[in-house]
Amino acid sequence: MTVLNRYPTWKNVLVAVVVLFGLFFALPNIFGDDPAVQISLETTAPLDDAAVKRVEGVLLQANILHEPAYLDEGRVMVRFANVEGQLRAVDLLREDLGPSHVVALTLAPRTPGWLRDLGLEPMSLGLDLRGGVYFLYEVDMEAAIGQALDRYESDFRSMLRDERIRYTAVRRDGDRVVVTLRTQEDMRGAEDLIRDADPDLIVNTSGAADSWNVTVRMSDDQVRQRQDFAIQQNTVTLRNRVNELGVAEPVVQRQGVDRIVVQLPGVQDPAQAERVLGATATLEFRLVDENNNPIEAERRGRAPLGSKLYKRRDGSPVLLKRDVIVTGDQLTDAAAGFSEGQPAVFVDLDAKGARKMGETTRQNLNKGMAVVFIEQKRDTVERAGEMVSVTRIEEEVISVATIRGVFSSSFMITGLDPVEARDLALLLRAGSLAAPIYKVEERTIGPSLGQDNIDKGMRAVVIGFVMVVLFMGIYYRVFGLVADLALLTNLVLIVALLSMLQASLTLPGIAGIVLTTGMAVDANVLIFERIREELKNGNSPQASIQAGYEKAFSSIADANITTLIAAIVLFTFGTGPIRGFAVTLSLGIITSMFTAIVGTRAVINLIYGGRRVQKLAV
């Protein structure tokens, strides 16, 4: 039977469609980027044409040269000819639009409108190529459990008072809460009350004479749930704080069991970002204990029963009631401003907090109320010859004011300088962290370094590509040139898939592309060597082509599948740069299998197929 080496029409059409698909989706990457400003609402609701006109008006009034503003997925985008105009515009727009809008620096692709209308975008660049700040935070899981136990302690005390069950003490003891009662009857009542309140808690009783104890511990499931909640809530809170910073296209995601990665493209001030992101600050509102002398309490080193000793900013002591009126997590909004010429933070409470604040102010007119600023920090100290991390809590009274009238949902906090007022308002708007976080790693990549990484990475790709092209063309002649065409198509398809999937291209990702460049022609080398071997054995050119592709396929498939498995494992268990490498390597293997086997066979068939051939240029 005569071998003609012809593909059926559908296979030729498939190859043509895939190549056109690659060119089409890779096209947006050739146009480059412009410095731009992105405006969105803090509530993430979409903006409309009125917002576009308002932005245009601000920029025109300031004579800032810019491209016409437009809406992009509910956000207003404005492009500028240079970075100077971009920075001026950001300052003006933030001042004009106020805290209800997020004004962020970004890079806007110069993709033509007709491509944008089709939903086509260039591939996303990772932080190491764009420049910005990278943080890796660790969540303090022990503190998360401790906070839950503190709430149980406070709740038990309130429950016992409400049910008129007499108790001697309610205290935390390590990983449990111990309730001490005077009689066995009170112990049984407290045990039933706690079991009814939360059946999942582990409750034990003990004691004798006039000291009976109810010991309460969290179950293993409750501990796991609390830890998962802590990291999920912290991820959401950090994402909110990033939005407050005004960063376009940030990355905030969980990594492993207890860590969170934050990537801020374009940010070059890590100190300001860290101050906002890593702060574990919250507020507590407490009544002032006006019946006891704080100086005497400081001298004795202990506060009276029901009170707690604090320090003001000037170092003077102040006694506050132990019962907390409202905490920071009950705040729904906060904005920095000025009152009578002094910096202030204007606060709004949720329904529960407003009700409690209203009752407290109604019952305590002309009495003092204090605002306590609480922050958790981690220090490294030496213990037994080893450096260990310890957590400390800083509590400071930032404001003490006399309650002159009844208020509930809205009021203001004074006693701050302008910077403190702005940062505190930002933190309160974004929400408090469910557990403290501590910085494990920080990297800052400048825009010039990012561009340098891009230039070097592209240079590596080009050099690798050119060397492979020359070798294949010289050694395998016509077949080598076909392999070079397949290699170029392979690069286009990788870029197209990265653009379509919006997977970030990183510096290790470029390394994956360079590796794929070499591996892509490896399949063709196996095929071409098999063809040469068949020719040496006396087979006809057409039969040698067919045998070369068919007999080399199993070896090619085995090699690529094992590499693909390794890439999938890297992606599954790796983090950060390793994942970037695994993504491009995986995509490169998939596309190279198609271009090296199906694509080159289609071109070879067009050159040699369907006719008698005496000699092959291989």
pLDDT digits (tens, 9 = 90+) for 525-582: 888 888 888 888 888 888 888 888 888 888 888 888 888 898 888 888 776 677 778 8
pLDDT of residue 303: 84
pLDDT of residue 423: 67
Say how far apart CA 148 and CA 224 lie, in whole Å.
12
User: pLDDT tens, 136-188?
Assistant: 888 888 878 887 888 788 788 878 888 888 888 888 888 888 888 888 888 88
Assess whether pLDDT exceeds 60 at residue 1.
no
Q: Where are any strands of DSSP class E within 278-434?
A: 282-288, 307-311, 317-327, 331-339, 342-349, 368-383, 386-402, 410-413
Assess whether pLDDT exceeds 60 at residue 299.
yes
Angle at 228 between CA 227 and CA 233, to 5 degrees: 100
Q: 311: which strand partners?
A: 317
User: pLDDT tens, 19-33?
Assistant: 998 898 888 888 877
pLDDT of residue 475: 85
Q: Which amino acid is at 33?
A: D
| Segment among 449-458, 484-493, 539-548 with least mean pLDDT | 449-458
pLDDT of residue 20: 92
Assess whether pLDDT exceeds 80 at residue 397.
yes
Say how far apart CA 443 and CA 361 lie, in whole Å.
48
Listed residue (484, 461, 460) closest to 472, CA to CA: 484
SS (H, E, C) 502-562: CCCECHHHHHHHHHHHHHHHHHHHHHHHHHHHHHHCCCCHHHHHHHHHHHHHHHHHHHHHH
Which helix (H) or strand (E) segment is 83 a member of?
helix 83-97
- Edge-to-edge strands of the sheet including 386-402? 307-311, 317-327, 282-288, 368-383, 386-402
CB count in 10 Å sphere of residue 167: 18
What's the mean pLDDT in 591-606?
A: 87
What's the mean pLDDT in 216-233?
A: 85
Per mean pLDDT, which of 4-18, 47-61, 146-160, 403-417 is the most reliable? 47-61
Say how far apart CA 186 and CA 363 lie, in whole Å.
31
Listed residue (174, 168, 185) closest to 145, CA to CA: 174
Assess whether pLDDT exceeds 60 at residue 277.
yes
Question: 240 or 52, which is more confident?
Answer: 52
pLDDT of residue 74: 81
* Mean pLDDT of all residues belonging to the chain: 80
pLDDT of residue 428: 66
Say how far apart CA 615 and CA 545 lie, in whole Å.
11
CB count in 10 Å sphere of residue 371: 22
The full DSSP string for 184-208 is HHHHHHHHHHHHHH-TTSEEEEEEE
pTM assigned to the model = 0.59
- Edge-to-edge strands of the sheet including 342-349? 331-339, 342-349, 410-413
User: pLDDT tens, 495-506?
Assistant: 888 888 877 777
Q: Which amino acid is at 218?
A: M
User: pLDDT tens, 240-271?
Assistant: 777 666 665 677 888 877 888 888 776 655 65
User: pLDDT tens, 99-143?
Assistant: 677 777 777 778 787 887 777 888 877 776 777 778 888 888 887
User: pLDDT tens, 423-445?
Assistant: 667 666 656 676 777 778 877 76
What's the mean pLDDT in 364-377?
A: 81
Q: Above pLDDT 70, what percent of the chain?
A: 88
- In 3-state terms the chain splits into helix, strand, coil percentages (rounded to 5) of 50, 25, 25
What's the mean pLDDT in 448-475?
A: 76
pLDDT of residue 376: 65
Q: Please, what are the domains in the chain?
A: 9-27+446-608 (1.20.1640.10), 33-109 (3.30.70.260), 142-223 (3.30.1360), 279-432 (3.30.1360.200)
